[in-house]
Each structure stands twice: as C-alpha cells, then as structure tokens.
Amino acid sequence: MLESIALNKSQSAGWKKVVRKETKIIKPYIPGKPIEEVKEEYGLEKVIKLASNENPLGVSPLVEKTIKEEISNINRYPDGGSSTLKRDLAEKMDVDEDMLTIGNGSDGLLKVIAEAFLESNSRVIISYPSFVEYKFVSQLMGCQIVRVWMRDYRQNLQGILDAVTSDTKMIFLTNPDNPTGTMLPDKEIRKLLDRLPDDIIVVLDEAYHEYVQGPDYPDGINYIKEGYPVIILRTFSKVYGLAGLRLGYAVSCAGIREVLMKVRDPFNVNHIAEKAGKAALADEEFVQRTIAVNEEGKEYLYGELDRMGLYYVPTQANFLLIKVDMDSDILFKKLLKRGIIIRSGKPLSFPGHIRVSIGLPEENREFIRNLELTLE
C-alpha cells in the first residue's frame, strides 16, 4: 500500500506548483555542437569545430605542465579567495586586489551580478542581439527587459540612452560585441557614461579584448578608476584557451566587489582552474602567438570571402559574422554533414548569417573549401 502511494506521488505533477514563474519563460542556452557528437551522428573521422570562439592553439605548455603537477592536490578544497591568482591579475592590470572578483567563468559572474543587484521588476537594458546570458540572468531575477536593436551591426548607444528611465538599474554592453565582432570606441562609451545617472550600473563584457587591434579601443578599467559605476567582465576562455576550466573575473570598485562577494558561491573556482589561470598569465609568448594566428586567419578569410562575393562584418575578435543568401540553419546542417561545425545566425538573432570562429590555417582553408562546395 505504501509503495503504491509513493509511486503515485512520484508520478504526479504537484511539484510544478512550486516552480518559480521566472523559470517558465527561460529558454536553456544551446552551445555549439561537440566534436564527438558530430563524428558519431554522421559517421565522420575528422571534424573541425569553428563554432564556439575557442583558442585553436589549445593551451600554453606552461598551463599543461601546471595542471599535471596540481592533479595530486585536488583532494583539497581550493583557495576560497583565489588569492594568488588575484594578486597576479592585480599586478598585471595595475589595480587593487579589492577590485577583483574571481568566478566560474563570465557566465557564473553574470549570475552573481544579477543576484546582487537585480530584483523583480528591475528595468534592465540590453543591446540586441547580444550574448544570451544577459537576457537569461535578467529573466531569472524577474526583470523588465528593454532591448535596443543594433544599427549596422553596431551597438546603438544613443538608443540605449533614450531607453533609460528612473526605473533602470543596469545596462549590459559588450566590447567587442558578440556575435558581430564590432567595437565601441572610447569617446562613445564616455558619452554614454557621462549622461547616465550614477545609480545605474553598466556591465561591460570584454571577453575578447585581447584580440582588438583598433587604436581607439578603450581599457574599460579606466572607467572604474575614474569613478563610473562600471563592472568589467573578462575571461580566460578565449585567448588563454581555458574554456573547459570555466574561469573569469570581474573588475569593479571595492564597494561593488564587496556586494558581489556576499552572494557568490564559496569555493566557486576549482583548484585546477585557479592554478591554470595563474600559469596562463605568466606565458605572454603564447598569448602573442594566439593573436598572431588570429590576425593571419582573419586576413585569409577576408580575402577568400571577398573573392566569393560574400559580405562579412570586419571583426575585432576571433570570429566572423558572414551574410549568406540562404537559410542559415540549412547551411549549418549542410556544413555539419561535411564535418564543419559553425553557428547558424538564426538563434543568434541574425537570420541569413553564420558565425565562424577563426581557426588554424588548415581549418580556415577547409571551411572555405566546404563553404564554396555547399553554396554551389
């Protein structure tokens, strides 16, 4: 009898009554397809992934050495404050250590920021289209989201300023932008910051800042030093190649950092990630080689796409947004069958476009060869 009651309860939907209403409207993040899944699905021996803006060189040899050495220490809890990594970051960027919050990737830090400052009916402004996690964390907190559409593939800062009301609490920007790769110059950001009330926090995501070659690209940390209510997000996932370890950091004034530390999870950065991040910072040669490979790949792709007559958005990051004269989901699937993983622009709110990570020379050549064959 008791077993029958327990079974009936386990099959009931009563638990649905306690699900937060905010979670009912959230759509889970869909990452780029993993290589092994594509191999298995299509019976392929070789697959090239150019979908998630990863570092095609892998990681620094110094990082590999450090990870091997630290394996024997993973039975211990990590340093809860990531003190040695924080010290190295502070020295590298010339900031105080109490301006740094280390986290489980930029995604994890975005959630910490939302939990610290946003609440039900808070009004947030998001440049659109943009990284979906800004929308996710805002929806999770029950915020009123205002989307300001881009113009000519660039974030519309005047439109954002026009959308500000007395209820606005936070603005999300990204520089360079994902998925377009375009950059906001210093004078445009300063113009926005100077006109905003001082009770609005601007979250400036600089995940791809190391790749930027534009001379008027700002160092967002200067805004913090000058007293603007800005939180800078940076990551080890891109130029440092540590995407699989989930490691990022936020830079802010000490007061904002103190609030963030109250809501972040204890031990939110694992031991291997912290030590790998410290090693990655020490290998500047690897970083410069990564940037050089990216620039070489960028110029090659520009030339080939020009030859093919395809429009692309000149990028300041390690990916390209390319306009194609067909359904981007169909093109994505056709390339997938050929062993090339890219991102369709449709889920990125750029239908008729594809986003392609810049890879190694041979990967870029294979992408172009298969793109031409697919578009014939």
Please, is 204 exposed, middle or buried when counting C-beta atoms within 10 Å of its C-beta (0-12, 13-18, 19+)? buried
Give CA–CA dist 239/207, Å, rounded: 9
The CATH code that applies to domain 24-53+285-375 is 3.90.1150.10
Please, is 338 exposed, middle or buried when counting C-beta atoms within 10 Å of its C-beta (0-12, 13-18, 19+)? middle
**Residue 129, preceding bond cis, omega within 30 degrees?**
yes
Model-level pTM? 0.92
Domain segments of the chain: what residues? 24-53+285-375, 63-282
Give CA–CA dist 339/45, Å, rounded: 9
For residue 24, the model assigns a pLDDT of: 74
Return the closest-CA partner of residue 112 out of 269, 267, 266, 264.
Answer: 264
- 278 to 267, 273, 320, 351: CA distances (angstroms): 17, 9, 30, 40
Give CA–CA dist 225/363, Å, rounded: 41
Give CA–CA dist 130/107, Å, rounded: 14
Give CA–CA dist 343/353, Å, rounded: 9
Return the closest-CA partner of residue 30 out of 131, 103, 128.
Answer: 131
Between strands 319-323 and 123-128, the pairing is: unpaired
Is the CATH number 3.40.640.10 carried by domain 63-282?
A: yes
For residue 2, the model assigns a pLDDT of: 56
Question: Are both 24-53+285-375 and 63-282 of the same fold?
Answer: no
Give CA–CA dist 367/186, Å, rounded: 34
DSSP state string for 111-137: HHHHHHH--TT-EEEEEES--HHHHHH
Give CA–CA dist 49/342, Å, rounded: 7
CA dihedral 131, 133, 139, 140 (to 10 degrees): 180
The token pair at 267 is: 């031990």
59-72 in b/e burial notation, b at 16+ Cβ within 10 A? bbebbeebbeeeee
Question: Tens place of pLDDT for every residue, the chain, 376 residues?
Answer: 556 555 565 567 787 878 887 777 777 767 777 899 988 888 999 999 999 999 999 999 999 999 999 999 999 999 888 999 999 999 999 999 999 999 999 999 999 999 999 999 899 999 999 998 999 999 999 999 999 999 999 999 999 999 999 999 999 999 999 999 999 999 999 999 999 999 999 999 999 999 999 889 999 999 999 999 999 999 999 999 999 999 999 999 999 999 999 999 889 999 999 999 999 999 999 999 999 999 999 999 999 999 999 999 999 999 999 999 899 999 999 999 999 999 999 999 999 999 999 999 999 999 999 999 999 8
Residue 183 near residue 155 (C-beta atoms within 8 A): no
Question: Which residues make beta-bridge pairs with 124?
Answer: 145, 170
For residue 10, the model assigns a pLDDT of: 57
Question: Which residues make beta-bridge pairs with 340?
Answer: 48
Give CA–CA dist 323/343, Å, rounded: 12
Secondary structure tally for the chain: helices H, strands E: 14, 13
